[in-house]
């Protein structure tokens, strides 16, 4: 999404869904650091990790990589010059 381009609401919806899942994963990870035997929390963590995969895949197909340094493929032309980057919104 280039600066000055029309607002694509799906961009923000998908990004927010990913952020919600990521937040829950971080919190569960912190909890599991001190409660490693909590099976229900491990199951919830695994469900969310699995839920995250198609969200990220869809976002990247539509809008480009979420992370740099080889964590995602780039289309041609190279997509990193395009802004805003996910962490800027």
pLDDT band at 67 (very low <50, low <70, confident <90, very high): confident
* Residue 82 to residue 88: CA distance in whole angstroms: 12
pLDDT tens for 16-65 read 999 999 999 999 999 999 999 999 999 999 999 999 999 999 998 888 88
Q: What pLDDT is attached to residue 6?
A: 59
Q: What's this model's pTM, rounded to 2 decimal places?
A: 0.73
pLDDT of 32: 93
Which is more confident, 35 or 83?
35
The CA-atom distances, in angstroms, between 30 and each of 35, 37, 60, 70 are: 9, 13, 27, 26
């Amino acid at each position: 999404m280039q600066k000055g381009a029309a607002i694509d609401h799906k961009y923000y919806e998908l990004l927010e869904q990913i952020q919600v899942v990521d937040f829950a994963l971080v919190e569960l990870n912190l909890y599991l650091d001190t409660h490693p035997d909590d099976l229900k929390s491990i199951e919830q963590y695994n469900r969310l990790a699995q839920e995250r995969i198609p969200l990220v895949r869809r976002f990247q197909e539509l809008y480009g990589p979420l992370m740099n340094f080889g964590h995602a493929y780039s289309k041609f032309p190279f997509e990193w010059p395009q802004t805003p980057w996910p962490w800027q919104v």
